[in-house]
């Protein structure tokens, strides 16, 4: 038993001695140099924000777009793609550096287009985060066709074509919008100024804005017939007539003509803007006078109005006066010296100083005091006094 114990102790001492040697050797090692692997890494750019359309600058064939960087630095690239169906995409801008606006051209009016914008970092090759900023925008309508129009007197009708998906707006030459209802294709304007040009144009409008205005259509109202044809002065050989413009402007033209009472043409004026006209070199008698109007020469489709007519006459030739006096009376007989149709006669008795003593009424042959003939007797006169007898003639109204 004693010998076994001694052997165990010897083994323990030997093990402790070896452990001590190993510990002493570890504490004596020196540190080596550091080896390093370097990898360049670029963070991804953020998805841009706020894709917008400049509606003022947009047209029927172009869409000016812009977006915000969303905190990306200036070396960020952006790609803009366009699609008509959100399936097939076309690159419009390819990794434009710090380029945050683009005008897309070659488009069709009043059509919806879809867009998406992605960002790319400064890596080589540039990388994207795979996300898109999206938007959809409508082009403005194309320029409309020129309206057409028709006129009836002083009433104008304007006609136009509508564009599906748009609203039509109608304007006059003063750029004032006229009231029309959705879907209307015509507008009638009544009681306009005669012989005047009116212009109209349309625009088509959608959610983006108005189209370019159409070309203007110019439509002239017709001149109105003149009014109140009348004689303002006359003599045995002339007639001066006048008319009212009846609302026509000063540029409206008029023509006057005169015929004998049985229709034989005597004289005709040129077209003139004057509201009066004188016919000369006439013979005493009755006449038919006519007047009409037409649009001024600026109107390419000038129309003439119907004529208005006046039956009148020159101053009739003065009648011959024959007198038969007695002690207290004077019998006067008138003899016409021109056609007496529609002529009224009157006899005036004056004293030697020209003061009226007595007078007959105006009467045509066969009426009144001239019922049997153009003879009248003034009675109750003073004997052996001087008197003046005036024989007068005029055309009845």
Give the residue from 383, 391, 393, 394 showing the smallest Cα distance to 323: 391
Averaged pLDDT, 289-313: 94
Rounded-to-integer distance, Cα 78 and Cα 119, Å: 5
Name the architecture of domain 227-313. Answer: Sandwich (2.60)
State residue 28's pLDDT score. Answer: 58
CATH topology match: 227-313 vs 320-395: yes
As a CATH number, domain 320-395 is 2.60.40.10
Q: Mind spelling out the 3-state secondary structure of 279-348?
A: ECCCCCCEEEEEEEEECCCCCCCCCECCCEEEEEECCCCCCEEEEEECCCCEEEEEECCCCCCCEEEEEE
State residue 26's pLDDT score. Answer: 54
The strand pairing partners of 204, in sequence order, are 168
Instruction: State yes or no: pLDDT of 36 exceeds 60.
Output: yes
Query: What class has domain 148-220?
Result: mainly beta
Q: Say if residues 137 and 112 touch (Cβ distance below 8 Å).
A: yes
Instruction: State yes or no: pLDDT of 353 exceeds 60.
Output: yes
Q: What is the mean pLDDT of the chain?
A: 93
Q: Where are the domains of the chain?
A: 49-138, 148-220, 227-313, 320-395
Residue 341 confidence class, pLDDT cut points 50, 70, 90: confident
Q: Say if residues 342 and 287 touch (Cβ distance below 8 Å).
A: no
Residue 324 confidence class, pLDDT cut points 50, 70, 90: very high
Q: By mean pLDDT, which of 39-43, 112-116, 177-181, 358-362 is the weakest?
A: 39-43
Q: Say if residues 256 and 288 touch (Cβ distance below 8 Å).
A: no
Condensed to tens digits (0 to 9), the pLDDT of residues 146-159 reads 999 999 999 999 99
Rounded-to-integer distance, Cα 275 and Cα 277, Å: 7
State residue 27's pLDDT score. Answer: 56
Fold of 49-138: Immunoglobulin-like (2.60.40)
State residue 5's pLDDT score. Answer: 40
Condensed to tens digits (0 to 9), the pLDDT of residues 200-256 reads 999 999 999 999 999 999 999 999 999 999 999 999 999 999 999 999 999 999 999
Percentage of the chain beyond pLDDT 90 is: 86
Percentage of the chain beyond pLDDT 70 is: 92
Instruction: State yes or no: pLDDT of 51 exceeds 70.
Output: yes
Condensed to tens digits (0 to 9), the pLDDT of residues 60-76 reads 999 999 999 999 999 99
């Amino acid at each position: 038993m004693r010998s076994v114990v001694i052997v165990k102790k010897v083994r323990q001492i030997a093990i402790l001695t070896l452990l001590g040697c190993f510990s002493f050797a570890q504490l004596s090692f020196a540190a080596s140099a550091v080896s390093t692997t370097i990898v360049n890494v670029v963070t991804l750019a953020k998805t841009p924000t706020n894709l917008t359309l400049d509606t003022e600058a947009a047209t029927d064939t172009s869409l000016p777009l812009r977006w915000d960087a969303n905190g990306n630095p200036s070396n960020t690239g952006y790609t803009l793609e366009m699609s008509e169906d959100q399936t097939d995409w076309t690159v419009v801008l390819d990794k434009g550096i710090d380029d945050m606006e683009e005008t897309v051209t070659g488009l069709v009016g009043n059509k919806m287009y879809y867009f998406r914008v992605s960002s790319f970092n400064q890596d080589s090759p540039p990388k994207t985060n795979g996300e898109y900023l999206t938007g959809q925008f409508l082009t403005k309508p194309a320029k409309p066709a020129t309206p057409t129009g028709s006129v009836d007197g002083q009433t104008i009708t304007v006609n136009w074509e509508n564009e599906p998906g748009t609203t039509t707006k109608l304007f006059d030459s003063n750029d004032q919008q006229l009231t029309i209802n959705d879907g209307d294709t015509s507008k009638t304007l009544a009681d306009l100024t005669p012989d005047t040009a009116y212009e109209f144009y349309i625009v088509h409008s959608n959610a983006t804005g108005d189209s370019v205005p159409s070309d203007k259509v110019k439509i002239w109202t017709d001149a109105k017939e003149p009014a109140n044809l009348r004689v303002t002065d006359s003599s045995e050989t002339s007639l001066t007539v006048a008319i009212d413009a009846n609302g026509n402007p000063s540029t409206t033209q008029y023509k006057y003509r005169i015929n004998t009472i049985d229709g034989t043409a005597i004289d005709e004026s040129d077209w003139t803007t004057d509201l009066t006209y004188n016919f000369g070199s006439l013979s005493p008698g009755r006449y038919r006078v006519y007047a009409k109007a037409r649009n001024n020469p600026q109107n390419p489709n000038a129309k003439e109005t119907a004529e208005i007519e006046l039956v009148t006459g020159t101053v009739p030739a003065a009648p011959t006066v024959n007198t038969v006096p007695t002690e207290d009376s004077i019998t006067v007989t008138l003899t016409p010296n021109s056609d007496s149709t529609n002529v009224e006669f009157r006899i005036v008795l004056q004293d030697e100083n020209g003061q009226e003593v007595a007078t007959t009424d105006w009467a045509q042959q066969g009426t009144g005091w001239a019922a049997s003939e153009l003879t009248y007797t003034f009675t109750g006169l003073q004997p052996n006094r001087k008197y003046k007898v005036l024989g007068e003639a005029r055309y009845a109204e």
